[in-house]
Amino acid sequence: MSDISSLLSRQNADGGWGYNSGGSCTEPTTFALLALSVSGCGQTVGAKMAIQWLAASQRSDGGWPPRRDVDQSTWVTALPMILPQAMRAKLRADRAKEWVLSQKGRESAWGPRLQAYLAGSQNPLDTSQEGWPFYPNTAAWVAPTAFTILGLERFPTDRRARSRCHMGRAFLLSRICSDGGWNHGSFRALEYDLESYPETTGLALLALHAETDSRLRQSLAQAEQRVSRLKSREARSWLQLGLFAHSRPVLSKLEDCNPSRSVLEIALTALVGAAANGNNAFIHSDENL
């Protein structure tokens, strides 16, 4: 069964996708839509139903909840913003943009910064660079910051969006681990260096696709060395997408990874396949900054 057939067979009756067999959620639904889009199935009934599900799930504050039974907009708001223009047009994307622009990592707010200063805490992180949290009023992390940058890049004429993207990229660059990749958000915990993760490294590289900072040389070299050793399909997919975003050839295949076990992995497999052919769904050249 092809990735797309497999995806469509897992679509819920309400038009969305769950992570596996559960209720529909914003994240897998958006990734399934991206996969349908790069596979030329963006106008199918399944895709239209999914867009309707997303439109109906968008909250009055402009954000999206991770699932409808959660009464809170979260980081997943950035994901529908990444969809192609034809799909985004059916959503209130401007409201979503406003919601994400209202969010930042709690550690960057003046209260916690003043508190940390008065306490004399030795934070190795530069908290002046504003990233994005997973959940409102918590700290910023690599994954939500990367996704939000990719989402805001769809609004190239918005000055605030450009400014926050710039700061978000600085946030990512300031969080590189000593091995060249990215952990969740920090490079140190207490006095100990943290190791990077392939999935967050891939995401950060994706969000930094337009950067030429010299620090990325080590990041890309590390990613290239690591990618073929990964058994996790999800981890390898993100690392491959990150490498493709920097025009790095990737020789490793997804076939020798663990099998696709979830909607996300099926969708990512399709997205990696398209990116290998020059169609990276996360980076639309005509819409970039």
Considering the rule CB under 8 A, would residue 234 count as an interface residue with other proteins? yes
Q: Does 139 bind other proteins (CB under 8 A)?
A: yes
Q: What single DSSP character describes residue 285?
A: G
Residue 71 exposed, middle or buried by CB count within 10 Å (0-12, 13-18, 19+): exposed
Q: Is 143 in the site for other proteins (CB under 8 A)?
A: yes
Asked if 31 is part of the footprint of other proteins (rule: CB under 8 A), the reply reads no
Mark 133-167 as b/e (b = at least 16 C-beta within 10 Å).
Answer: bbebeebbbbbbbbbbbbbbbbbeebeebeebbeb
Q: Where are the alpha helices (DSSP H) in 102-158?
A: 110-119, 142-152
Position 163: which residue type?
S
Binding residue (CB under 8 A) for other proteins from 75, 182, 187, 244: 75
13 part of the interface to other proteins, by CB under 8 A: no
Dihedral pair phi/psi, residue 38, rounded to 5°: -75, -15
Minimum distance from residue 162 beta carbon to other proteins (Å): 26
DSSP string, 109-122: SHHHHHHHHHHT--
Stretches 1-9, 40-48, 61-69, 94-102: which one binds other proteins (CB under 8 A)?
Answer: 61-69
Backbone angles phi, psi at 17, to 5 degrees: -125, 145
Task: Decide if residue 159 touches other proteins (CB under 8 A).
Answer: no
- Check binding of 130 to other proteins (CB under 8 A): no
Among 1, 60, 120, 192, binds other proteins (CB under 8 A): 192
144 binds other proteins (CB under 8 A): yes
Helices (H) and strands (E) in the chain, counts: 13, 4
Selected binder of other proteins within 57, 74, 145, 269 (CB under 8 A): 74
From 42-50, 185-193, 209-217, 271-279, span contacting other proteins (CB under 8 A): 185-193
Residues that bind other proteins in the complex, under the rule CB under 8 A: 18-20, 22-23, 25, 27, 66-67, 69-72, 74-75, 106, 133-135, 137-139, 141, 143-144, 184, 189-190, 192, 197, 199, 231-235, 258, 261-262
